[in-house]
Homo-oligomer: A and B are copies of this chain.
């Protein structure tokens, strides 16, 4: 079975780890949001790509929610001493990876090739693809001004209320050819439980023309009215969308035919059906690797059913 998983940095990356433990090499492609990317001291920082790489390599720092386990911050302390702003915490090991990636890209590789090279060096079996080789940068228009995503998210701690989002560069950007191929080859496209507007919409903006709604399955990032991680609920509310599981289903209704909800949201099945989507109830909370694998297994079973139907 071939799956293409659209993912941001937390829920999507966890689900990626679940699939990676389940599928054979060549069966899983993770397509990562790059609209959260930014540059610090000339280093391209790609938080969602790296959360996926580090998680698949077993190095992800669960405690901090970014970067590498047991990393230190000595380069950053020097930059602080030199008077630089250091609100974006780049760890030393993390910087090692960024130095290599920057060098690969400056030496002429496309970002897609550089990430593939690094995934290979980390002995990751799954294909990890940035959504595009061209820069796309989310700008967050807030009451405090038009901020780069990381400035709003990290420096401002998501505090300024969000008026609108803009994915700068998205009109000129193309999905990388590997991304288009992976989506076309996939038996299903899974949209991970990531922030719909921050993490998934940039990917969907690029990929929507290549998607077959009947083969797209979404895992809700909102469970029982709360987001498991990050500012999804607050952000949807600020943007005037319905900040609930049903609201997320509505958000995705035009691109996805199947919507996975947690047992606590069982009562929403009718509402989801009314949107023209097939509701599926699974345990979606991923507290540990066993949860990740269980959710991946449940979704894989659904897709197996589609494959069997298609073959019959």
Contacts and interface: CB of A to CB of B under 8 A. Distances in A.
A289 interface: no
Interface string A85-116: 00000011111110110110010000000000
A72 interface: yes
6 contacts: A41-B100, A72-B72, A74-B74, A74-B91, A75-B95, A84-B100
Contacts of A84: 100
A302 interface: no
Contacts of A118: 82
B41 A102 contact: yes
Given A41-B103, A42-B102, A96 B79 contact: yes
Contacts of A76: 96
A295 B72 CA distance: 40
Residue of A99, A121, A122 with highest tally of chain B CB at under 10 A: A99
How many copies of this chain does the complex contain?
2
A209 interface: no
A38 to B, nearest CB: 13
A121 B95 CA distance: 22
A103 B84 CA distance: 11
B77 A74 contact: no
B106 A82 contact: no
